[in-house]
């Protein structure tokens, strides 16, 4: 553990999970009078927020979600944790984002938070993956396709660069988790009815107010 006690590591991982569990998407949507769980895909991530509420709220949520992953690693590094343990804290933030214990273990799909984590863990692999993912998304107009290709690219580049086993393990688990979170998107992609980038979601009409004479 590099001189760090097990209890210290457990506390750091739990705090990282709580950081990842901050429901930015739900909070931003609630300020607009929308329960994000009931519109679009029901996902609280940036893509569903953007489709439901527009570019401004979607961008805010996306940046916040990236920050969660990056901060989890950065704080762990500042606390003196070794690179593998700092990466583990980043992974805990992704788990907190995806499986929020305060929201019935529902959350986002972990794309932005995973990217934020990897920016601190392995900027080279994440940088290449971002370019590839953006290119796929631009060409296909599918955010889900770009995200999944980006996850695979991150692992492939990390392996080609000879990154340590612990990084490959974490990246592999994150990629597998991302595919699991996108399982419905994969079905729609194969069926040809997946939502395209920029496609809007129709919000339910507010309930009619009862007029009292």
Nearest to 152 by CA among 168, 129, 169: 129
DSSP 102-117: GGTTB---SHHHHHHH
Give me the chain's average pLDDT, please. 89
Q: Is the pLDDT of residue 185 over 90?
A: yes
Nearest to 19 by CA among 95, 106, 104, 81: 95
DSSP 86: H
pLDDT band, very low/low/confident/very high, at 38 (cuts 50, 70, 90): confident
Under 8 Å between Cβ of 120 and 106? no
Classified as helix, coil or strand, 160 is helix
Give the model's pLDDT for residue 42. 74
Q: Distance (Å, rounded) from C-alpha 46 to C-alpha 107?
A: 11
Beta bridge partners of 106: 100
Q: Distance (Å, rounded) from C-alpha 201 to C-alpha 153?
A: 30
Q: Domain coordinates of the chain in residue numbers?
A: 6-191
CA angle 46, 123, 198 (to 5 degrees): 25
Q: What are phi and psi of 106, to 5 degrees?
A: -110, 155
Q: Is the pLDDT of residue 199 over 70?
A: no
- b/e map 40-66, b = 16+ CB within 10 Å: bbebbbbbbbbbbbeeebbebbbebbb
pLDDT band, very low/low/confident/very high, at 48 (cuts 50, 70, 90): confident
Give the model's pLDDT for residue 47. 83
Q: Distance (Å, rounded) from C-alpha 174 to C-alpha 186?
A: 17
Q: Is the pLDDT of residue 41 over 70?
A: yes
Q: Distance (Å, rounded) from C-alpha 105 to C-alpha 95?
A: 10
Q: Is the pLDDT of residue 9 over 50?
A: yes
Nearest to 39 by CA among 21, 53, 24, 55: 53
Question: How many Cα atoms sit within 13 Å of 110 on the Cβ side?
Answer: 30
Q: Distance (Å, rounded) from C-alpha 7 to C-alpha 9?
A: 5
Q: What is the tens place of the pLDDT at every residue in 126-157?
A: 999 999 999 999 999 999 999 999 999 999 99
Q: Mean pLDDT over residues 48-66, rounded?
A: 89
Classified as helix, coil or strand, 1 is coil
Give the model's pLDDT for residue 93. 98
């Amino acid at each position: 553990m590099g001189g760090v006690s097990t209890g210290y590591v457990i506390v750091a991982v739990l705090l990282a999970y709580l950081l990842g569990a901050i429901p930015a998407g739900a909070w931003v949507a609630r300020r607009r009078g929308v329960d994000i769980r009931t519109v679009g895909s029901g996902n609280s991530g940036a893509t569903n927020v953007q489709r439901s509420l527009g570019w401004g709220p979607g961008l805010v949520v996306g940046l916040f979600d990236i920050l969660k992953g990056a901060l989890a690693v950065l704080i762990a590094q500042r606390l003196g944790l070794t690179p593998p343990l700092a990466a583990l804290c980043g992974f805990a933030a992704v788990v907190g984002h995806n499986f929020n214990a305060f929201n019935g273990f529902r959350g986002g799909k972990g794309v932005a938070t995973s990217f934020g984590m990897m920016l601190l863990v392995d900027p080279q692999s994440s940088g290449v993956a971002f370019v590839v993912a953006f290119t796929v998304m631009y060409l296909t107009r599918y955010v889900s396709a770009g995200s999944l290709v980006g996850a695979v690219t991150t692992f492939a580049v990390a392996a080609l660069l000879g990154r340590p086993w612990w990084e490959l393990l974490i990246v592999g688990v994150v990629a597998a988790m991302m595919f699991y979170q996108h399982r419905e998107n994969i079905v729609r992609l194969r069926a040809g009815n997946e939502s395209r980038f920029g496609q809007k979601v129709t919000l339910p009409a507010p309930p009619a107010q009862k007029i009292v004479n």
